[in-house]
Structure 1
Amino acid sequence: MNTIIEKSLTNSFSYQEYRNHVTLLSDEGKTTGHEQTEALVNYTKLNESRLHRLDKTMVVVDEVKAFLENLDKDYIWLVISESWCGDAAQILPIINKMAEVSDKIDLRIVFRDDNDELMNLFLTNGTRSIPKLIIIDKETNEVINDFGPRPQEAKQLIFDYKAEHGVVDETAKINLQKWYLNDKGISTQKEIVALMK
């Protein structure tokens, strides 16, 4: 596992590099990943505007800020993502704001389709669901925990919808985006902190 993580880190981006790359692709009518479809390109464009808005408006709550400011060791937060992923567009700005609070957190981002071995270590119910945050002790390279692809309440919302309707359709996606809007990143912040305690 350590070898796979180290290899992935050599291909990783800072948050700003990731954002610049996604903006460039969006402007060029492209997307990240090995598949280039009109739908994925459209999701990338939509997510670019979401990322832009959330980068400006996302706030780390006081109790989370206090915890992060008092970390006693260094961590790498390695996130597996793609530009077309709606959950990633909602969660990455939160993770970035949290990482900015502490000089003990080094945030790195990798693309799922370019890191198969890493993704296969962190499947969700057998699927390649993203985003996935891997919390790593920087000194030992030990994986402390992982989070993703979405907070528990959002997972339940999609699970319930799929149980009732048999699919995750556009209505489900809209309901999920409304949930993220109302939650303001608080569930993600609290769940990540809980994983670190």
Structure 2
Amino acid sequence: MKISIAKALFNSHSYLEYRKLASDLLQDEKSTGPVQSEELTHYSSLNDTRMKRLDKTIKVSDAIVQKLKGLEENYIWLVISEGWCGDAAQLLPVFNKMALASEGKIDMKIVLRDENEELMNLFLTNKGKAIPKLIVINKELGMALGHWGPRPKGASDLITDYKKEHGSIDEEAKANLQLWYLHDKGESSQLEILDMMLDLDAVKN
């Protein structure tokens, strides 16, 4: 696993680099990843607009900021994403704001799922390549300690319940999910991730 993580980190992007990469591809009517289609480009364009808004509006509470700054160890958040992923567009701005709020305790790096299959296969969700996936790495040891994603519990429950009732995920389900994120304002994700970080930080590695 450490080799897969090292390879991924070598080819990783900062948050700003990732945003520029996705934005530059859109100028050529493309999305990230090897598969190109009008649908994926459309989703990528929506996500670019979403992320611009969230970069301005997402807030991290003072209580969470203090706990992030108080982490004993230093960490890397290695995030697996793609520009066309709706969940990633909602969550990466949250991850970024939390990492910045930690004042150096957390360094966030992003890799593209379809360029890092070896890494993705280590962090499947129900045998699927669901993203985004946030992998917590001890910076000194280069060791993965835990992971989170692809959605906060409330969002996951919404999709699970919809699928049980309707049999599949359609555009209505996707719209309901985006509304859930809009109302939640990133708060559920922040609390879940903070709890994970505090638990990991309490274990002496």
TM range (shorter): over 0.9
Q: Is residue 128 from structure 1 mapped to residue 129 from structure 2 by the alignment?
A: yes
* SS in structure 2 of the partner of residue 55 of structure 1: helix
Give the TM-score normalised by structure 2. Answer: 0.95
Looking at structure 1, the residues matched to 34 and 195 of structure 2 have their Cα atoms a distance apart, in angstroms, of 34
Looking at structure 1, the residues matched to 90 and 72 of structure 2 have their Cα atoms a distance apart, in angstroms, of 28
Identity %: 55
Structure 2 equivalent of residue 98 of structure 1 = 98
Structure 2 equivalent of residue 20 of structure 1 = 20
What aligned pairs does 1:86-165 form with structure 2 within 5 A after superposition? 86-102=86-102, 103-165=104-166
**Superposed CA offset, 1:99-146 (max 9, x none):** 001211110000000000000000000000000000011111221210
Deviation at 1:26, TM superposition (A): 1.6
Give the TM-score normalised by structure 1. Answer: 0.98
> What letter is aligned with 1:191?
E
Instruction: Determine if contact 1:14/1:108 at 8 Å carries over to the other structure.
Output: yes
Q: Which runs of 4+ in 1 moved over 4 A?
A: none
Looking at structure 2, the residues matched to 190 and 27 of structure 1 have their Cα atoms a distance apart, in angstroms, of 36
Structure 2 equivalent of residue 56 of structure 1 = 56
Structure 2 equivalent of residue 9 of structure 1 = 9
Looking at structure 1, the residues matched to 97 and 18 of structure 2 have their Cα atoms a distance apart, in angstroms, of 14
Looking at structure 2, the residues matched to 63 and 159 of structure 1 have their Cα atoms a distance apart, in angstroms, of 31
* SS in structure 2 of the partner of residue 52 of structure 1: helix
56-65 or 45-54, which deviates more: 56-65
Structure 2 equivalent of residue 196 of structure 1 = 197
**Superposed CA offset, 1:19-66 (max 9, x none):** 111111122210001100110000000000001000011101222111
Structure 1 equivalent of residue 171 of structure 2 = 170
Looking at structure 2, the residues matched to 90 and 124 of structure 1 have their Cα atoms a distance apart, in angstroms, of 19
Structure 2's unaligned 5+ residue stretches are: 199-205
> What letter is aligned with 2:71?
L
Number of residue pairs the alignment of both structures matches: 197
Deviation at 1:196, TM superposition (A): 1.2
> What letter is aligned with 1:180?
Y
* SS in structure 2 of the partner of residue 121 of structure 1: coil
> What letter is aligned with 1:58?
I
Tell me how large the CA RMSD over aligned residues is: 0.7
Instruction: Determine if contact 1:144/1:196 at 8 Å carries over to the other structure.
Output: no
Structure 2 equivalent of residue 66 of structure 1 = 66
> What letter is aligned with 1:190?
L
Looking at structure 1, the residues matched to 59 and 123 of structure 2 have their Cα atoms a distance apart, in angstroms, of 28
Deviation at 1:153, TM superposition (A): 0.7
Deviation at 1:72, TM superposition (A): 1.3
